[in-house]
Amino acid sequence: MSSVVTFDEETLQALYGVKKPASYLSLELNLKYHRFEEREVRFVLTYPDLYEIGTSHIGGKILLHTINNLTDFALMHRAYLPRPDMQEFMKKRGIPLFTIEEKRPVREYELWGFSLSSELTYTNLLKCLELAGIPLLSEERKGFPIVFAGGPCVYNPVPLSPFVDFFSIGDGEETLIEVAKTLREVKKQGGSREDFLHAIKNIKGVWVPKFGRYPVKKAIFHSFSPTYFHTNFPVPTVETSQDRIAIEASRGCLRGCRFCQAGYVYRPYREKDENTILKILDETFKNTGYEEASLSSLSISDHSRFNQLVPLIMEYCYKNTISLSLPSMRVKGFNPDLASQLMQVKKTGFTLAPEVGSDRLRSCINKDLTNEDLYRAVEGLFERGWNRLKLYFMIGLPFETEEDIDALIEMLWQVHKIGKRFKGRKHLAAGISIFVPKPFTPFQWEAFSSREEAEEKIQKIKKKSPRTFTLRFHDYRQSLIEAILTRGDEDTAKLLLSAHKHGCQLDEWNEYLNWEGWLKAFEETAFPVEKAIAKRDINEELPWDFIKGVVTKKFLLRELEKAKNAIRTPDCRIAGCHGCGACTKEEIEKLKEHPIPEKIEFTVPPRPKKEFPLKKKLAVVFEKVKEAKFLSLLDLTRAFTRAFRKFQIPLRYSQGFNPHPKLNILLGLPVGVEGLGEIVEVELTEDFTFSKELIKEINNFLPNGLRLKSAFEIDKKSSLINKITEVTYHIKPLKEAGNWEFLKTGTLIDRKGREINLKEKIKSYGFKDGILTVVLTVTNGNILNVQDLLNAAGLNLENTKVWREPLVKS
């Protein structure tokens, strides 16, 4: 018997009382999935953070595609950490943590994986286990699900080892397929949880903590095959952190910045060619309708075919009105003309990462960049019309002196002075984080700053920097937690458990950081904070030393010595192999096929300004019912934009640097109110008709409860809003009936404290079977907000179901 979580009418309406209820429901575009009963092996994947963060994670999308599409016996669904208010909602109603796809309790699946990109999500992992009703400690669990974890954080898996049954270390594509095959065989043989853990011990990249710290070699996805890449995935309707097509153009980086863990653990270097990237972009756009795209890489301008790649992708993006972002651009050799080309689609801000202010300290951290390189890039950007610029820095690095902080401040002043030479107001910002020593970097033995040291530097920067810069500093408390967890051992696990007990979760969010809970955990466990953040002896055994195949300790010590003497180590593709131990002879030889471009130099011809002539205007009638009533106006606009783009409807766009489609939703409904016949007006650049077949296809793409009903042509220069004179609402209290006496008196006080004359706003009203039907008058495109009626009656949208009749009679 299915135990899928179902929301009755009252419970569903009560969701209005939590923040962003749409993020907990199956309200994604293109949501296709295998049913639980259809496959033998069932995974849940969780990025342990809020939906709007987790659903953007590119690694999760790759793994979802791998399991769901490259096997015929396994499936993978998703679950995320709810906000505290939703947690309370679930607790009161006895609802366990459930998956997005089926609303099925996570505890019913066999394998539950956590993708860990930040140590500040560790307490989130424990909270997820609690919400699912699963024992926190591995030794207390019986049967399924088996809990596992992967991602960059698990290169030191020890702090989480009491809570996690096994770890997937390294690239997960092939590892998880092997894990799934093994579980299928164990199930066929009637094996137990213990049998499965014994069986996966020898899979490359898998560590099972119950068997001790035996040598584990990280898994490497050698082929980097595009077959494993996702092009057809669920698309959020609610706003998320990185809501775009993200294509992994390359994996790994050989620049060797000594603070950067990703640059060491993701070796060897692999890349996709420009034609493969274009094919992925084309397929993804046609499946999703996204308006933005990015090329994901640790250093995209190091792509060997960068100068061929950019014109190819830019041409496609221009043709399809897609804005393109290129993160992690190398400043040295930066070509400002690239920025000008990016402006042809959409103008946003530009971000550069000098990391520090002095050339000496930059040599210590092996950042191949000089101050002059940065100033040249800044001048080129301002000269070409860019007015928004953000710089990233770190403080608290090894070998940093007071002069380096002065140099950082001086750099801000120099950028400020360069900006003043060019027209237009400059929007300047600087993000300043506190260095955290990470495993498998040359600085893994170095100390983390004390609070006093960090605060002294922060105050100096605040006091002496130009006021034109908006300064954003990372919270020292969060950096401290990260520093403790990243190099922790089994004793750190006790600290984590105590922090969880004292209510710590969502530590990466300033609004949810529970510092008092962490202080109690430090005290309760007598945790040696100063020792945990202190410098480590290079001869001591480190918790992660049993992880092999990353980079050798010998190489890291050599790099540390170079850092002390401010000596740089060039990229392997420039100077040859440095013997880091991460690559095979074949992989070293293959690097010759991917040389770094000597210059960022390409030609993209100037494109004419896009014209969007108005040829036709349609009124599209849709309904927004059941779960979809929680979609906001912005959500609906986002959903329709992507749906119409996917099906190649010739939308008309606004002019300017940030073009957006000309869609207008009439008399937009409040979140939580159903609409049986809403209207979105759509302007088109070509003659086009919505056929019944097309409407059916679009409805299959849209989330449940959001459905197109019909479409008809209207006058190009007018709006239906001028023809709508009244609208009808039905109001059904789900608990108390409400006090409607004010309808008789003819006045109410609205939510802003103003007295409203109802005779001007209400045409008629009546009660039948406990339901109020009210006809509101539309005046100059405005109506009384139905929420003001509810408030006056002592009701709200948490305890009242409201729906609106079609705006136009068919």
Mean pLDDT by 10 residues, the chain (810 residues): 82 96 96 96 98 95 96 98 98 97 97 98 98 98 96 98 98 97 97 97 97 97 87 96 94 95 96 96 97 93 92 92 82 72 62 94 96 93 89 97 98 97 94 98 98 98 97 98 97 98 98 98 98 97 97 98 97 93 92 88 75 95 98 97 98 84 96 98 96 98 97 95 96 91 92 91 95 95 94 95 92
| Predicted TM-score of the model (pTM) | 0.95
pLDDT, position 346 = 54
Between CA 597 and CA 592 the distance in angstroms is: 12
Task: Look at strands 663-665 and 250-251 and give their pairing.
Answer: unpaired
pLDDT, position 614 = 96
Vertex 368: Cα angle to 365 and 371 (nearest 5): 95
pLDDT, position 629 = 98
Between CA 52 and CA 62 the distance in angstroms is: 17
pLDDT, position 345 = 54
The dihedral formed by the CA atoms of 731, 735, 737 and 739, expressed in degrees to the nearest 10: -100
In angstroms and rounded to an integer, the radius of gyration of the C-alpha atoms of the chain is 29
Q: Quick one: tokens of 694?
A: 């097309």
pLDDT, position 1 = 42
Between CA 586 and CA 238 the distance in angstroms is: 45
- 3-state SS track over 206-225: EECHHHCCCCEECECCCCCC
Q: Quick one: tokens of 250?
A: 């390359």
Q: Which long-range contacts (CB under 8 A, 24 or more apart) does 786-789 make?
A: 786/670, 786/673, 786/729, 786/731, 787/670, 787/751, 788/748, 788/750, 788/751, 788/756, 789/729, 789/731, 789/748
Partners of 427 in the β-ladder: 388
Partners of 726 in the β-ladder: 777
**Residue from 335, 318, 242 nearest 281 by CA:** 318
pLDDT, position 333 = 66
* pLDDT tens string 629-679: 999 999 999 999 999 999 999 999 998 767 899 999 999 999 999 999 999
Alpha-helix residue ranges (DSSP H) falling in 77-163: 84-93, 122-132
pLDDT, position 191 = 95
In 10 A of CB 780, how many CB atoms? 6
Q: Quick one: tokens of 284?
A: 């993804």
